[in-house]
Amino acid sequence: MRSVGIVGIGSYVPENIVTNKDFELFLDTNDEWIISRTGIKQRHIAPKDMPVSELCYQAGLKALEDAQIAPEEVDLIIVATITPDYAFPATACLVADRLGARNAAGFDLEAGCSGFVYGVVTGSQFIATGMYKTVLVIGGETLSKVLNWKDRSTCILFGDGAGAAVLQPVKEGFGFLGFELGSDGSGGALLSQPAGGSMYPASLETVEKNLHTLQMEGKEVYKFAVRVMGEVSLKVLKNADLKIEDVDLLIPHQANIRIVDAAVRRLGISPDKVVVNLDKYGNMSAASIPVALDETFKSGRIAEGDIIVMAGFGTGLTWGACVLKWTKVGLEV
């Protein structure tokens, strides 16, 4: 089994910014209330005519440029999203076409906010076994398109964006050291988009009842998230035979500052080692972790050999974490 790491990263967010003050114009809320309960100050929102494939394309292009890899060299593209352009074809196929990755297989992966972690775990296996050399994993969302903008409990939380990572073989002892994934379908109804699938096909009734928009039981999701974020982080470290003291950076899913703070307390990790950027972007679901990873590296906070934990939770309910020893140097094979 070959060691697998991230040799290129990139991200993209739409230019349009919606601040908390903007919500005051049409919702019974205010800036102070939103910040105190979520930690979010603003979020980026895609134009109505911009599909998620465009965000994924831009992030994927930057990741390939960062890795100095031509699109023709990509063997597989995985797009983690719950807001695809279409039910089918897969967004990954559309992105492959835009990139010119004519030799790449492609498929979409749906695990909500855990999607990027699920994606890198899945992509790593193709490389570790020797089937492929280069896999592009993209987490992208345009959640603004499935929000009920009259529901202040949900619409203030989410933003749009995409982040990408190029996976390749790396020298032994570096790259991904451990994974942990999980799911609990009994909690599926706590965070869902009920209509549009085979359970509730689109109809006048489903539209009138707002069943094509995101529905969330906030208190229950919060309790689940606070518990699972700490647990999955500890499990993945155990899988890698590491301790919390070995961790240089924790990049958690950027959902809510209270959830992040609770996970930090549970883990006993220094807040200085925790990446938080949700104040600028809100909850970008599958895009939140890769965008945070890209920003953190570009800011100079990540060095060769650093131990990094990425952990997320999301609809499904799902959760996942991975730990890697950082290097961006690919291995010639």
For residue 112, what is the domain's CATH number?
3.40.47.10
Model pLDDT for residues 18-46, shown as the tens digit of each residue: 999 999 999 999 999 999 999 999 999 99
Residue 123 DSSP code:
H
E runs forming strands in 122-222? 135-142, 160-169, 175-183, 191-192, 215-216
How many domains does the chain fold into?
1
Model pLDDT for residues 95-146, shown as the tens digit of each residue: 999 999 999 999 999 999 999 999 999 999 999 999 999 999 999 999 999 9
Q: What percent of the chain has pLDDT over 70?
A: 100
pLDDT at 332 over 90: no
CA-to-CA separations, 76 to 98, 101, 110, 160, in angstroms, rounded: 14, 9, 16, 24
Q: What is the mean pLDDT of residues 294-323?
A: 98
CA-to-CA separations, 85 to 79, 93, 145, 257, 302, in angstroms, rounded: 11, 11, 11, 30, 33
pLDDT attached to residue 32 = 97
pLDDT at 333 over 80: no
The answer to whether residues 120 and 167 touch, using CB atoms and an 8 Å cutoff, is yes
pLDDT attached to residue 54 = 98
Kindly indicate the confidence band of residue 67, based on its pLDDT and cuts at 50, 70 and 90. very high
Q: What is the mean pLDDT of the chain?
A: 97
pLDDT attached to residue 46 = 98
Closest among 14, 15, 33 to 23, alpha carbons compared: 33
Q: What is the mean pLDDT of residues 65-70?
A: 98
Domain with 44, as residue range(s), is 1-333
Q: Indicate which residues carry an active-site annotation.
A: 113, 253, 283
Longest CA span, the chain: 58
Sheet holding 4-12, edge to edge: 4-12, 160-169, 135-142, 76-80, 105-109
pLDDT at 281 over 80: yes
